[in-house]
């Protein structure tokens, strides 16, 4: 039955939806580290903002700032986020922006540490990137009586909090105060944050804002995989998942160990194939909703086989190269971790996913108007 648990990303073919933006991508961008996009920058209002100096005064000597954005109760009220500026930040030069969402029970500082997006020398389009680590609001937890940070789409997320709206408000706030390249916004996340990253990719209002997405060890509950997913465009996805993950099993599950079906998650191979089908590698599948879950009623039919390689030790990459690339990295022996050599997230791998694969993948894609 677990093969029937799945987001219905493939229910619409890529041609059935209007294209809001297109991507600048080289035709030969099919390798582990594809070729960088040459799309022009699109400077945000912050590049010429008169209030920029006041905003920048909040940053420490390490180029960090813990900030709070006051929003409506439906957007979670006061929302906190950690911002890191690159050492070569230039208020007159548009920089790429990466949002990275933490997992359940985690927070911004941990997400910064395990991902390494703030490390020196991490560049997109030849410039240091602005890395932002938002924090989820406190939800009821898995026992229902806890207070733990979580993101929209999970059974334990705070009820009534619109994290999609929060993300839009955060991007607007950052764009008004920092010199960013709005063609080069990227979203990433781990576990519950990975599931929320997938939800951003699946939602038209946010799918049109980010050039590419990186869900890692993603907790893909039904709330993060809407049955009528219609992003409005093909979506570049790079995904990592360990075969030894016991928190979010690679093969998927019908329920958690307590038998709660709201904790059902899809088979990761099928999840990747569904995005590939939606991105032009297949005609898709039909689906229906069963309770809070998505039930596939037919097999995913792909018209193009993935390119299979082994870019790192104990790692298999299946790259689907249709309208937008879907790269799925399967890591043998890795548990519920962000792949890294230092073991900062528990598991140890022979490569750092962020620098070896995610940043080069992001650099391949930039939003560009038709």
The least confident of 116-130, 140-154, 206-220, 271-285 is 271-285
Q: Is 143's pLDDT higher than 90?
A: yes
Identify the weakest region by mean pLDDT among 38-52, 81-95, 279-293, 352-366. 279-293
Answer yes or no: are the C-beta atoms of 94 and 181 closer than 8 Å.
Answer: yes
Where do the DSSP E strands lie in 102-172?
A: 123-124, 127-128, 130-134, 137-139, 148-150
Instruction: Pick 308 or 13 by higher pLDDT.
Output: 308
Report percent pLDDT > 70 for the chain.
85
What is the tens place of the pLDDT at every residue in 259-273?
999 999 999 999 999
Query: Are the CB atoms for 341 and 349 separated by under 8 Å?
Result: yes
pLDDT tens-digit map of 86-125: 999 999 999 999 999 999 999 999 999 999 999 999 999 9
For residue 29, name the pLDDT band (cuts at 50, 70, 90).
Answer: very low
Q: Which residues contact 288 (CB under 8 A, 6 or more apart)?
A: 227, 294, 295, 297
Tell me what the mean pLDDT of segment 16-21 comes to: 32
Q: What CATH code is carried by the domain that includes residue 96? A: 3.40.50.1820
| Residues of the domain holding 241 | 2-368
Does residue 22 surpass a pLDDT of 50?
no
Pairing of strands 95-101, 180-190: parallel
d(CA 362, CA 98): 9
| Mean pLDDT, range 58-81, rounded to an integer | 97
Question: CB of 212 within 8 A of CB of 362?
Answer: yes
pLDDT band at 337 (very low <50, low <70, confident <90, very high): very high
Predicted confidence at residue 50, as pLDDT, reads: 84
pLDDT surpasses 70 at 19: no
Instruction: Give yes or no for residue 170 having a pLDDT over 80.
Output: yes
Segment 279-314, tens digit of pLDDT: 988 865 445 443 344 444 345 778 888 999 999 999
How far are the Cα atoms of 47, 50, 266 from residue 42, in angstroms, in the given order?
10, 19, 37
Which residues are CB-contacts of 244 (< 8 A; sequence separation ≥ 6)?
332, 333, 334, 335, 347
For residues 112, 117, 120, 124, the Cα torsion angle rounded to the nearest 10 degrees is -160
**Range of lowest pLDDT (43-52, 136-145, 196-205, 283-292):** 283-292
Token readout for 174 is 């950052």
Q: Is the pLDDT of residue 13 over 70?
A: no
Is 60 exceeded by the pLDDT of residue 178? yes
Domain count along the chain: 1
In residues, how long is the chain? Answer: 370
Name the 3-class secondary structure at 124: strand
SS3 347: coil
Q: Residue 2: pLDDT above 70?
A: no
Q: What is the pTM of this model?
A: 0.89
User: pLDDT value at position 283?
Assistant: 62
pLDDT of residue 300: 74
Q: Phi/psi at 71 (nearest 5 deg)?
A: -130, 175
> Is the CB of residue 96 less than 8 Å from the CB of residue 88?
no
Read off the pLDDT of each residue in 11-35 and give the average, rounded to a whole number. Answer: 40
């Amino acid at each position: 039955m677990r093969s029937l648990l799945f987001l219905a990303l493939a229910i619409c073919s890529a041609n059935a939806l209007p294209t809001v933006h297109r991507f600048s991508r080289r035709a030969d961008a099919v390798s582990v580290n594809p070729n960088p996009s040459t799309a022009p920058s699109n400077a945000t209002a912050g590049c010429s903002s008169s209030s920029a100096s006041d905003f920048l005064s909040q940053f420490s000597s390490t180029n960090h700032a813990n900030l709070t954005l006051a929003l409506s109760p439906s957007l979670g009220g006061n929302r906190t986020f950690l911002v890191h500026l690159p050492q070569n930040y230039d208020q007159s030069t548009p920089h790429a922006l990466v949002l990275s969402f933490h997992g359940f029970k985690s927070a911004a500082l941990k997400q910064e540490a395990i991902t390494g997006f703030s490390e020196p020398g991490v560049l997109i389009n030849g410039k240091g990137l602005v890395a932002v680590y938002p924090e989820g609001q406190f939800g009821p937890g898995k026992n229902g009586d806890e207070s733990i940070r979580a993101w929209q789409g999970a059974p334990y997320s705070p009820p009534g909090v619109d994290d999609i709206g929060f993300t839009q408000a955060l991007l607007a706030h950052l764009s008004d105060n920092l010199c960013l390249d709005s063609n080069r916004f990227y979203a990433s996340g781990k576990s519950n944050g990975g599931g929320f990253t997938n939800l951003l990719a699946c939602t038209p209002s946010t799918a049109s804002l980010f050039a590419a997405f990186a869900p890692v060890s993603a907790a893909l509950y039904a709330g993060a995989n809407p049955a009528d997913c219609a992003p409005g465009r093909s979506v570049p996805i790079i995904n990592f998942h360990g075969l030894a993950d016991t928190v979010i099993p690679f093969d998927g599950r019908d329920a958690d160990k307590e038998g709660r079906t709201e904790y059902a998650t899809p088979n990761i191979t099928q999840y990747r194939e569904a995005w590939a089908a939606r991105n032009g590698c297949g005609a898709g599948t039909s689906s229906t909703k069963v309770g809070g879950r998505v039930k596939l009623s037919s097999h995913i039919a792909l018209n193009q086989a993935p390119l299979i390689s082994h870019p790192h030790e104990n790692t298999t990459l299946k790259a689907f190269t249709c309208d937008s690339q879907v790269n799925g990295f399967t890591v043998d022996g890795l548990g519920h971790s962000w792949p890294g050599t230092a073991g900062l997230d528990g598991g140890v791998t022979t490569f750092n996913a962020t620098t070896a694969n995610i940043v080069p993948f992001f650099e391949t894609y930039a939003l560009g108007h038709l």
